[in-house]
A and B are shown apart, each in its own frame.
Chain A
Amino acid sequence: MNKILFKKQLSKDVFMMRLEAPLIAEERLAGQFIILQVNNDYGERIPLTIADADKKEGSITIIFQVVGKTTLELSKFDVGRNIPTLVGPLGKPTHIRNYGTVVCVGGGIGIAPLHPIVQALKEVGNKIITIIGARTKDLIFWEDEMRAISDEFIVCTDDGSYGRKALVTEPLKEFCERDPKPELAIAIGPPIMMKFCVETTRPFGVSTQVSLNTIMVDGTGMCGGCRVNIGGEVKFVCVDGPEFDGHKVDFDNMIARLNSYKEIEQHKHKCYMDSLVETKQNEYSKEMK
C-alpha cells in the first residue's frame, strides 16, 4: 500500500515522489490534495497537493518542501517503502472551463499544485500565461514542464540568480495592464505571495483564485482547524476549498493561524535535530571503538 515508486530531489529542500495509489489516481481532479502521515501512532497529518496522476500506472505525484519534522522524515523514505497513511483525494476540484486568457502564478513549492490546474485549463482551450518564481534559483523546479503547457512563460527569482530579478507580482501587474486584460488569475504559493498577488490584481478587477494550504487534522470537515474567513464567512479549506476567491480571503488571519504552533514546532524541531546529531555522534563513536 502507498509504495514509493520513484523519488527525485528537485532542489535543495524540494522532493518529488510518485506513489502507488490507484484509487486516488482514478478519482483525483486538478486542485485536490491528499493527507499523509509518516507514522501511524504519533505522526502528524499533513496535507499535500496532488501534482500529477497516472491512472494507468495507478500512481500520484507529490512534491514537498522540507519544512518540519514530517517532511524531513518523508524526504528520507526511499523507493519501495510504504507510506503508512495516505488518504484522498480531498477538497473540491478546480472549476475548469474556458475563461479565455488565464495568468497562472506559482511561487516556490506552489509550482507543484499549479501544474495540474494549468494542464487542465490548457486542455479546455485557455490561453495560458505562466509566471513561476522563487527566492533563489535552487528552489525553481519543473520549469520545462510548465513551459511546455504555457503560451507565455516567465521565470523570476527574488535574488536574480535565475531568470528575471523580480517578485512574481511585477510581471503579474504587467499582464493585468495589457489590453485586453486576462479573464482570470490563479496564484498558488506561500500565503504572503498570494496576499500580494491578490492586492496586485484587485485594482484591475481581475478575478483571482488562490489555493490555501492551512493546518489540517482530518481533512474531511470534522475538525475545523483549517477554517478561514472568506468575505466575512467562516469556510473550511478541506471541504469548501482549497480554492477560494482571493479577493475575499482574510490573509492576515490565515497567516496568524498557520503560525499557531510555530514556537512549539521550532523547539521540537531543534530537539529532533539535536537528537539526530547525537545519534550520528554515537554511531561515529561506536565505529571509532
Chain B
Amino acid sequence: MSYIPADQLSKEAHKLYEEIYPFKDTLKTKDRIKIPVMEMPSQDPDIRRGNLDEVAIGYTAEEAMVEAMRCTQCPKQSCLSNCPVNIDIPLFIGHVAQGEFQKAADVIKESSMLPAICGRVCPQETQCQRDCTVGKANKDVGKAVAIGRLERFIADWERENGSVKIPKVEAETGKRVAIVGSGPAGLVVAADVRRKGHSVTVFEAFHKLGGVMRYGIPEFRLPNSIVDQEINVLKKMGVEFKTNYVVGRTRKLTDLIEKDGFDSVFLGTGAGLPIFLGIEGESLVGVFSANEYLTRSNLMGAFDQEHSDTPIYPANTVAVLGGGNVAMDSARMALRLGAKKVYVVYRRTEVEMPARNEEIEHAKEEGIEFHFLQNAKRIIGDENGKVKAMECLRYELGEPDESGRRRPVVIKGSEFILDVESVIVAIGNGSNPLISQTTPNLITNKWGNITVNEDQKTSMNRIYAGGDIVLGAATVILAMGEGRRAATSINNLLA
C-alpha cells in the first residue's frame, strides 16, 4: 500500500459520508461490509522521517463515522471478548456511527482508563480486530472495523473538547496501597484501587512518569503530552506519585508493608533487563540495547541535541536486530536522528514479525530496509573498538517451533558482510533483578519473572504483580489487563 495524503483521504471520506449517512440506520449487513476501510491519515513519509511529530494524524469526524458504519453490530461480539480489558466495543462504535461521541467516550471509560494510549499502541489485529465479522467477510484482517483508530478518535475528541471526566472516587477508607512502577500496569491499578477510596502512592524509579510509555515508545508513535494527560487524571483523583524511588534499593519491598504501613503492594516494574545475542563484538562502541537507544532519545531528550545533555551515538548506517515493535521504534528513531540508511535484520520473514502491521507499513514508507531471513553472526570493530561492520548469516524457514512460528534454520556458508556504524539489539528483555535480589521470599520462575496466581497474587501476602515483570516482554494492553485483575484482587483484600 502506498502513501495517500491525509487531505485526499478526508475528501474521499467526505464523499462517502454524504452518500451513506442518510441511510445509516437502514444499511444492510452486506452494504456495510462493502464500505471501504478508512485508512489512518498520516504525515507524509518524506517529511515525517525528519521530525518527531506523531505519524498517525487521527480520523476526522466524518472518517470516524464512516468507519463506525462498517460495523454490522453482529451478535458474535468477538471484539469485546478479545479485548484484554473488555471494552464494550459494539456499543461505543454504535454511538460513533450516530455522531454521539461523548456517549462513546463514556462507554470506553467504563473499562479503560487510558484509551488515548491504547488506541495508539494496542496490537488490534491480534486482539479486538482479529475475529471481526467484517474482516472475516472481506477475508482480510486488515479490512476489519478499525476499532483502534475509532478508540483513539474518541479519546482525542474528548480531550480536545475539554470534557474529560474525572472518575468518581468513593469515600476514603484509610487503607493504603503502594504501586511500584508507573507504566501501564501500575497506572491501571492506581486508578481502579483509588476509585474504591483507598489511598494510592505510585513509586517510579525514573524522574518522569509513564514507564515504557515514556522511555520506550517514541514521541512519533505516542506523544508524551498524551501520557501526561492520562496521568493528570490520576493526579486529580488524588493518586500520589513519587519519582526517583527505586523499590528494592531506596526502600526494601518488605519495608513498604512492615515499616511504612502500606496494606498492599502492586509490583509493575516492567521488563527491564535487555537481552543481548551473546555474539562476538557485542560490547563494541556503537552497539546498544534498544532500551538504551530509546531511553536516550525519548526520556532523556537526546533527539533534541541542541538542548539535551545526553548524547546519542552518531551513525550514518544503523542495523536493528529484531522484528518487534521495539525494533520498529528503534529503526524509525535512528532515521529521525540522522541515519542515512537503516536496516532491520530479522531471522524470519515478514509474516512472522511480531510488530504491529501499521508500524511495519510506516517503517517501509519511511525507507527502512528490511533484511529478512538474516541474522548477525558477529559484529566487527575498527582499531578504536568502534563498530564498522556486521557479519551476517542467511536463514531459511524450517518446521514450526513451540511458538507455532516456522523455525529459522541457518544456511551453511552463507556469511556476508554488511557495513554498518551502529547496531541496535532489539530482541527482547529479561526481568529486572532489583526487587528479587533484595526480597528472598518472592518466588520467580527460571527467567526471573515473578510467579503469580490467577488473582495476580505473588508468593508473598498482600503483594501482587502484573505486566511485563510477570509476562516477560508483552504489550501495553496485556499489562493493563493484568493490572485490572490485580486491582480487583487488591480491592477484595481491602474490602
A interface with B by C-beta (< 8 Å): 23-24, 27, 37, 39-45, 69-70, 84-90, 217-218, 220-225, 227-229, 234, 236, 239, 250, 252-253, 256-257, 259-261, 264-265, 268
Chain A contacts for B295, CB-based, 8 A: 217-218, 222-223
In the complex, the answer to whether A225 meets B288 with C-beta atoms within 8 Å is yes
Chain B contacts for A222, CB-based, 8 A: 215, 272-274, 291, 295, 432
Among candidates B207, B307, B311, B432, residue contacting A261 with C-beta atoms closer than 8 Å: B311
In the complex, the answer to whether A224 meets B292 with C-beta atoms within 8 Å is yes
In the complex, the answer to whether A223 meets B301 with C-beta atoms within 8 Å is no
B interface with A by C-beta (< 8 Å): 205-208, 215, 243-246, 249-252, 272-274, 276, 278, 282-286, 288-289, 291-292, 295-296, 300-301, 304, 307-311, 313-314, 384-386, 432-434, 437
Chain A contacts for B274, CB-based, 8 A: 222-224
Chain A contacts for B432, CB-based, 8 A: 220-222, 239
In the complex, the answer to whether B434 meets A220 with C-beta atoms within 8 Å is yes
In the complex, the answer to whether B285 meets A259 with C-beta atoms within 8 Å is yes
Chain B contacts for A256, CB-based, 8 A: 284-285, 384-386
In the complex, the answer to whether A88 meets B283 with C-beta atoms within 8 Å is no
In the complex, the answer to whether A87 meets B273 with C-beta atoms within 8 Å is no
Task: Take A42-B301, A70-B309 as given contacts and tell me if A87 and B285 are in contact as well, using a CB distance cutoff of 8 Å.
Answer: no
**Whole-angstrom CA separation of A256 from B381 in the bound complex:** 11
Among candidates B250, B285, B286, residue contacting A88 with C-beta atoms closer than 8 Å: B250
Chain B contacts for A24, CB-based, 8 A: 250
**Whole-angstrom CA separation of A221 from B274 in the bound complex:** 8
**Whole-angstrom CA separation of A87 from B295 in the bound complex:** 17
Shortest Cβ gap from A33 to chain B (Å): 11
Among candidates A218, A221, A224, A261, residue contacting B276 with C-beta atoms closer than 8 Å: A224
In the complex, the answer to whether A221 meets B272 with C-beta atoms within 8 Å is yes
Shortest Cβ gap from A182 to chain B (Å): 30
21 A-B interface contacts by CB (under 8 A) = A23-B250, A23-B251, A27-B251, A41-B307, A42-B304, A42-B310, A87-B245, A88-B250, A217-B310, A218-B295, A222-B273, A222-B295, A223-B291, A224-B276, A224-B292, A234-B278, A253-B284, A260-B313, A261-B311, A264-B314, A268-B309
Chain A contacts for B291, CB-based, 8 A: 222-224
In the complex, the answer to whether A265 meets B384 with C-beta atoms within 8 Å is no
Chain A contacts for B285, CB-based, 8 A: 256-257, 259-260
Task: Take A42-B304, A42-B309 as given contacts and tell me if A257 and B283 are in contact as well, using a CB distance cutoff of 8 Å.
Answer: yes
**Whole-angstrom CA separation of A45 from B251 in the bound complex:** 21
Chain B contacts for A268, CB-based, 8 A: 309, 311
**Whole-angstrom CA separation of A75 from B432 in the bound complex:** 33
In the complex, the answer to whether A234 meets B246 with C-beta atoms within 8 Å is no
**Whole-angstrom CA separation of A168 from B202 in the bound complex:** 48
Chain A contacts for B276, CB-based, 8 A: 224, 227, 234
Among candidates A87, A239, A261, A265, residue contacting B244 with C-beta atoms closer than 8 Å: A87
In the complex, the answer to whether A221 meets B433 with C-beta atoms within 8 Å is yes
In the complex, the answer to whether A239 meets B205 with C-beta atoms within 8 Å is no
Among candidates B207, B278, B386, residue contacting A85 with C-beta atoms closer than 8 Å: B207
Task: Take A42-B301, A44-B309 as given contacts and tell me if A27 and B250 are in contact as well, using a CB distance cutoff of 8 Å.
Answer: yes
Chain B contacts for A253, CB-based, 8 A: 283-284, 385
**Whole-angstrom CA separation of A23 from B260 in the bound complex:** 12
Shortest Cβ gap from A233 to chain B (Å): 10
In the complex, the answer to whether A45 meets B208 with C-beta atoms within 8 Å is no
A-B residue pair count with CB separations less than 8 angstroms: 131
**Whole-angstrom CA separation of A39 from B311 in the bound complex:** 15
Count chain A CB atoms within 10 A of each CB in B285, B313, B432 and give the residue with the most: B285
Having A45-B310, A221-B432, one finds 12 other A-B pairs with CB under 8 Å, namely: A37-B207, A43-B309, A222-B295, A224-B291, A228-B283, A229-B283, A234-B283, A239-B273, A239-B434, A260-B313, A264-B314, A265-B311
Count chain A CB atoms within 10 A of each CB in B272, B288, B292, B314 and give the residue with the most: B292
Shortest Cβ gap from A25 to chain B (Å): 11
In the complex, the answer to whether A40 meets B309 with C-beta atoms within 8 Å is no
In the complex, the answer to whether B309 meets A220 with C-beta atoms within 8 Å is no
Task: Take A45-B300, A253-B283 as given contacts and tell me if A221 and B273 are in contact as well, using a CB distance cutoff of 8 Å.
Answer: yes
Shortest Cβ gap from B186 to chain A (Å): 15
Among candidates B282, B309, B314, residue contacting A39 with C-beta atoms closer than 8 Å: B309
Chain A contacts for B251, CB-based, 8 A: 23, 27
In the complex, the answer to whether A69 meets B244 with C-beta atoms within 8 Å is no
In the complex, the answer to whether A218 meets B385 with C-beta atoms within 8 Å is no
Chain B contacts for A220, CB-based, 8 A: 205, 246, 249, 272, 432, 434
Shortest Cβ gap from B379 to chain A (Å): 13
Task: Take A42-B304, A86-B244, A256-B384 as given contacts and tell me if A227 and B283 are in contact as well, using a CB distance cutoff of 8 Å.
Answer: yes
Task: Take A23-B251, A224-B292, A268-B311 as given contacts and tell me if A217 and B244 are in contact as well, using a CB distance cutoff of 8 Å.
Answer: no
In the complex, the answer to whether B246 meets A87 with C-beta atoms within 8 Å is yes
Shortest Cβ gap from A93 to chain B (Å): 11
Closest partner residue, chain A, to B434 (CB atom): A220
Chain A contacts for B292, CB-based, 8 A: 217, 223-225
Chain B contacts for A227, CB-based, 8 A: 276, 283
Among candidates B301, B385, B433, residue contacting A239 with C-beta atoms closer than 8 Å: B433
Among candidates A43, A85, A252, A261, residue contacting B313 with C-beta atoms closer than 8 Å: A261
Shortest Cβ gap from B144 to chain A (Å): 35
In the complex, the answer to whether B296 meets A217 with C-beta atoms within 8 Å is yes
Closest 8 CB pairs of A and B: A256-B385, A223-B292, A222-B272, A44-B309, A261-B311, A87-B244, A224-B289, A85-B207
Count chain B CB atoms within 10 A of each CB in A86, A90, A223, A236 and give the residue with the most: A223
**Whole-angstrom CA separation of A65 from B5 in the bound complex:** 54
Chain A contacts for B296, CB-based, 8 A: 217
**Whole-angstrom CA separation of A252 from B381 in the bound complex:** 13
**Whole-angstrom CA separation of A164 from B108 in the bound complex:** 75
**Whole-angstrom CA separation of A88 from B296 in the bound complex:** 20
**Whole-angstrom CA separation of A72 from B353 in the bound complex:** 46
In the complex, the answer to whether A90 meets B249 with C-beta atoms within 8 Å is yes
Closest partner residue, chain A, to B271 (CB atom): A222
Closest partner residue, chain B, to A265 (CB atom): B311
Shortest Cβ gap from A259 to chain B (Å): 7
**Whole-angstrom CA separation of A63 from B296 in the bound complex:** 26
